[in-house]
Structure 1
Amino acid sequence: MGVRVSTKDKILELLKKETNLTVSQLSKFLGITEMAVRKHLTVLERDSLLTITEVRQPMGRPLQVYSLSSQADEMFPNSYETLAIEFLQDLQDLHGEEIIDLLLEKRSERQKNNYLPQMQNKNFAEKVHQLKEIQLKKGYMAELKKIDDNTYELIEFNCPIFTVAKQYKKACSCETNMFKNVLGTELVKRVTCKTDDEDHCRFLIKAH
Structure 2
Amino acid sequence: MSKNQIKKDVSTRTRRGIIDLLKEQGGMDVVALSSQFSLSGMAIRQHLNALKEEGLVMNVEESRPMGRPAKLWVLTPAANRFFPSGYSDLSVSLIHSIKEAFGNEGLDKLLDVRNKNMQEQYLQHLGGISDIREKLEKLAEIRTIEGYMAEVKTQDDGSFLLIEKHCPICEAAAVCTGLCKNELHLFQTVLGNNVHIERGEYILAGGRNCIYTVRQNKP
Q: What's the TM-score, normalizing by structure 2?
A: 0.81
CA deviation vs aligned residue, 1:81-134 (integer Å, no higher than 9, x gap): 111111111211222112222222221111110010111321222111100110
Alignment of 1:159-174 (within 5 A): 159-174=167-182
Q: Which amino acid aligns with 1:24?
A: V
Q: 1: CA distance between counterparts of 2:32 and 2:129?
A: 38
Q: Provide structure 1 residue ranges, at least 5 long, that are not aligned to the other structure.
A: none
Matched with 2:89 is 82
Is contact 2:60–2:71 with CA below 8 Å preserved after alignment? yes
Alignment of 1:34-73 (within 5 A): 34-53=41-60, 64-73=71-80
CA deviation vs aligned residue, 1:40-97 (integer Å, no higher than 9, x gap): 213322433223457899999x975422223211211112111111111121122211
Matched with 2:103 is 96
Is contact 2:152–2:161 with CA below 8 Å preserved after alignment? yes
Q: 2: CA distance between counterparts of 1:98 and 1:159?
A: 25
Please give the secondary structure, in 1, of the residue aligned with 2:82.
coil
Q: What's the TM-score, normalizing by structure 1?
A: 0.85
Counterpart check, 1:21 vs 2:38:
no
Query: Of 156, 163, 166, which aligns to 1:158?
Result: 166
Q: Which amino acid aligns with 1:115?
A: Y
Please give the secondary structure, in 2, of the residue aligned with 1:181.
helix
Please give the secondary structure, in 1, of the residue aligned with 2:166.
coil
Q: 2: CA distance between counterparts of 1:134 and 1:167?
A: 25
Please give the secondary structure, in 1, of the residue aligned with 2:139.
helix
Q: Which amino acid aligns with 2:17?
A: K
Query: Of 188, 191, 200, which aligns to 2:209?
Result: 200
Query: Of 147, 155, 158, which aligns to 2:155?
Result: 147
Deviation at 1:19, TM superposition (A): 3.8
Query: Of 94, 98, 107, which aligns to 2:114?
Result: 107
Q: 1: CA distance between counterparts of 2:67 and 2:145?
A: 45
Q: 1: CA distance between counterparts of 2:138 and 2:62?
A: 40
Size of the aligned set, in residue pairs, is 203
Matched with 1:189 is 198
Alignment of 1:104-143 (within 5 A): 104-123=111-130, 124-143=132-151
Q: 1:122 to 1:148 in 2, by over 3 A?
A: farther
Q: 1:53 to 1:151 in 2, by over 3 A?
A: closer
Q: 2: CA distance between counterparts of 1:59 and 1:200?
A: 28
Q: 2: CA distance between counterparts of 1:89 and 1:122?
A: 39
Percentage identity across aligned positions? 29
Please give the secondary structure, in 2, of the residue aligned with 1:67.
strand
Is contact 2:137–2:151 with CA below 8 Å preserved after alignment? no
Tell me whether 119-128 or 160-169 shows the greater mean CA deviation.
Answer: 119-128
Query: Of 9, 16, 33, which aligns to 2:40?
Result: 33
